[in-house]
Structure 1
Amino acid sequence: MTDDPREQDPLDGSAAVREYFGDTYPRVFAFADMLRDQGVERGLIGPREVGRLWERHILNSAALHPFLGEGRVADVGSGAGLPGLVLAAMDPDRDYVLIEPMERRTQWLFEAARECGIDNVQILRGRAEEVAESVEADVITARAVAAIDKLVKWCRPLLTDHGQFVLLKGRSAPDELERAKYTLRKQRLTGEIHSAGTIAGVEPTTVVVLTHS
């Protein structure tokens, strides 16, 4: 068995991945490579994630892209840069704001954006409710941050009047939407669940889109 994580991940450098990302592949690959090399040591991903980085993290994040619509994106709880840096790497003509409360993770985001040539991002340290006065976004993204009802309460002040939430979720998405129904009704939001595919052989990602009703 090889100890090289690149050889452990069957999607690393694959033709399907290159075709999926097209012209944006070099930036996405640079970020994935940096995350693979430093992510475990810096506490961003677990050791078992290295060999499935593309499927579990990079493509999972990229699946949000078709749902983003137009305008500025705020990624809340960016952490390792998932999905924020992946989406920004795919979308160089759009402005992204990455919001992360932990200092060591904001430092990682600064370094990764600089070294990977992802220059369309602004990185803010703080919680969503702490940066509401300085951030206005048309789209809010989040991955593994909180349940839908909490995300809406925390992040609605960041959103423009007709903006939308585009959230990475798992199999619990229907239950989360049900539990959030009163919060969504109060905020005049309607939720839809989508199954978002990327490349053949990779399980689709569950995406929840909240729009104004």
Structure 2
Amino acid sequence: MTEAAELPPAPEEARAIFGERFPDAVRYGELLADTGVRRGLIGPREVPRLWERHLLNCAVLSEVVPDSVTVCDVGSGAGLPGIPLALVRPDLKITLLEPLLRRTNFLSEAVELLGLDHVTVVRGRAEEVLGTLQPVHVVTARAVAPLDRLAGWGVPLLRPYGEMLALKGDTAEEEVKSARAALSKLGAVEASVLHVGEGVVDPRATVVRVEVGESPGGVRFAAKRAKAARTGRARRRR
């Protein structure tokens, strides 16, 4: 079993961005450093940089999320970016979507520990919850998949005129360029690269924003592909 490590002291920026929920941010960081490491959700080498690379890097996503909207965090994993976003934005209604049981167990424990009444944990893949999960205003994601594949999962979960916000790295611009054809098929009307977290994280966090229009054709395309994937899995089980 992997040994847990101790959460390092929080930088001053953490107190400023989390505000009154700063003690809960510390609790969540401690949970990641302990249970998260023991269960293999966070690598032990990540613990010394949990604040800068993970908690703060995710919390600054709040800068570009509209007020009082519904959010689905696709492939939430250990709750990044969904839980830091929930801590700084109590006005949001957030669904943490994750297919793996051990991760959803961790997410449920974290949500209960932190008293996040505006957060729901759902076990499943994005393509499996189409039609059962209510469409949302915003889809978030971090370190899930390349943009074209991620959009195929996330965009169909959006309401008309919604947006997907994906935390990305240095290759964000290249990903947007290579994914334009796939994004167009999904009904995206705009894709742009934003930088958030000025004065909080260095370097600033990079976000790819994918905006969709009314897009019934894009949603039908994605639903058709999801149905084909389910049919293929059913055939393989026979």
Q: Would you say same fold, with TM above 0.5? A: yes
Pair 1:72–1:127, CA change in 2 (3 A): same
Structure 1 range deviating more: 128-137 or 194-203: 194-203
**Structure of greater Rg:** 2
* Partner of residue 119 from structure 1, selected from 97, 106, 117: 117
Code of the residue aligned with 2:168 in structure 1: it is K
Over residues 111-154 of structure 1, what are the superposed CA-to-partner deviations in whole Å (9 max), with x where a residue is unaligned?
Answer: 01101112211111110000111221100000011111111112
What is the aligned partner in structure 2 of residue 91 from structure 1?
89
Matches within 5 A, 1:44-193: 44-70=41-67, 71-135=69-133, 136-186=135-185, 187-193=187-193
* Partner of residue 32 from structure 1, selected from 3, 19, 29: 29
Measured in 2, the distance between the counterparts of 1:96 and 1:190 equals 24
The Cα shift of 1:201 comes to: 6.1
The Cα shift of 1:77 comes to: 0.2
Measured in 2, the distance between the counterparts of 1:24 and 1:13 equals 13
Measured in 1, the distance between the counterparts of 2:55 and 2:78 equals 11
SS at match of 1:203: coil
Measured in 1, the distance between the counterparts of 2:107 and 2:199 equals 27
Code of the residue aligned with 1:193 in structure 2: it is V
8 Å contact 1:59–1:198 — kept in the other structure? no
Question: TM (normalized to structure 2)?
Answer: 0.82
Over residues 13-68 of structure 1, what are the superposed CA-to-partner deviations in whole Å (9 max), with x where a residue is unaligned?
Answer: 33332122212222222211211121111101111111111011101111211111
SS at match of 1:5: coil
* Partner of residue 16 from structure 1, selected from 7, 13, 19: 13
Structure possessing the higher relative contact order (Cα contacts under 8 Å, 6 or more residues apart): 1
The Cα shift of 1:192 comes to: 1.0
Measured in 2, the distance between the counterparts of 1:201 and 1:125 equals 31
Question: TM (normalized to structure 1)?
Answer: 0.91
What is the aligned partner in structure 2 of residue 208 from structure 1?
208
Q: CA RMSD in A?
A: 1.7
SS at match of 2:33: helix
Code of the residue aligned with 1:137 in structure 2: it is V
Which structure has more helix as a fraction of its residues? 2
Measured in 1, the distance between the counterparts of 2:140 and 2:201 equals 25
Pair 1:167–1:16, CA change in 2 (3 A): same
What is the aligned partner in structure 1 of residue 217 from structure 2?
none
8 Å contact 2:138–2:158 — kept in the other structure? yes
Over residues 93-127 of structure 1, what are the superposed CA-to-partner deviations in whole Å (9 max), with x where a residue is unaligned?
Answer: 32101100000000000001101112211111110
SS at match of 1:151: helix
Measured in 2, the distance between the counterparts of 1:167 and 1:175 equals 14
Structure 1 range deviating more: 149-158 or 72-81: 149-158
Aligned-pair identity in percent equals: 42
What is the aligned partner in structure 2 of residue 5 from structure 1?
6
SS at match of 1:63: helix
